[in-house]
Amino acid sequence: MIMVMLCRAIPARALVASALLAASATSASAGSYLSLGLGGDPVLSGELRAAADGDGDGGNGRLALGQSFGRVALEGSLSRFGLATDEATAAGVHVRLSVPLDGAFGAYGRLGLERVWLGAEGDRLGDTTADGMVGGIGLEYRLTAPLLGQAALWGELSQDKLETDAGEIGARLWTVGLSVGI
């Protein structure tokens, strides 16, 4: 009875899209992975740029744990990026879609939700946390390492759009890194 009600509640388009996505994922592999990336100074926007007296200073880093299901993956991440006098720390949940390009090369898009703790710049804004969305696009080169198994080198450009009591803020980051299967 419950299954019949659930099947009726799911639109036919969603079922067709899910079937096509699952069918297209046959060449990609499923599994868990750990990802670590480092990058340059953030480009800040909105009230955060004013509170930090310009762009960020100190680079950025990102650690993610993911589970892939073919070309689609779910990720949880922790990241930090430098601000003028302090660092911001972000925790997020993301969906990642990978698309093969040629041989071991691929592209991906990432979209998710984040909470950011703003440090000293948050005190200037009157709000020490911000919530919002993050999106990123990237390129990756997949390889098989003798001791690590499946791995990938990647580069990404991401944009955070966050809301605080003071208004909309943002940070654009570029990051390069390594992902390894676990």
Distance separating alpha carbons of residues 135 and 112, to the nearest angstrom: 7
pLDDT of residue 121: 82
Is the separation of the CB atoms in 175 and 42 below 8 Å? no
Tens of pLDDT along 118-143? 988 888 888 889 999 999 999 999 99
| 160 membership: H or E segment, kind and range | strand 149-164
At residue 18, the 3 state secondary structure works out as helix
The neighbour count for residue 80, using CB atoms within 10 Å, is: 18
- Residue 23's pLDDT is 34
The tens digit of pLDDT for each residue in 30-56 reads 699 999 999 998 988 888 877 666 555
* pLDDT < 50 positions in the chain: 1-28
How much is the pLDDT for 27?
37
Domains of the chain listed by start with CATH number: 28-181 (2.40.160.20)
Amino acid at 34: L
Q: Please measure the distance between the N-terminal and C-terminal CA atoms of the chain and give it in whole angstroms.
A: 40
Q: Sign of the CA dihedral 33, 39, 45, 48? A: positive
pLDDT of the residue at 144: 84
Give me the count of residues in the chain: 182
pLDDT of 86 reads 84
Residue 160 sits at the vertex; the CA angle it makes with 40 and 130, to the nearest 5 degrees, is 115
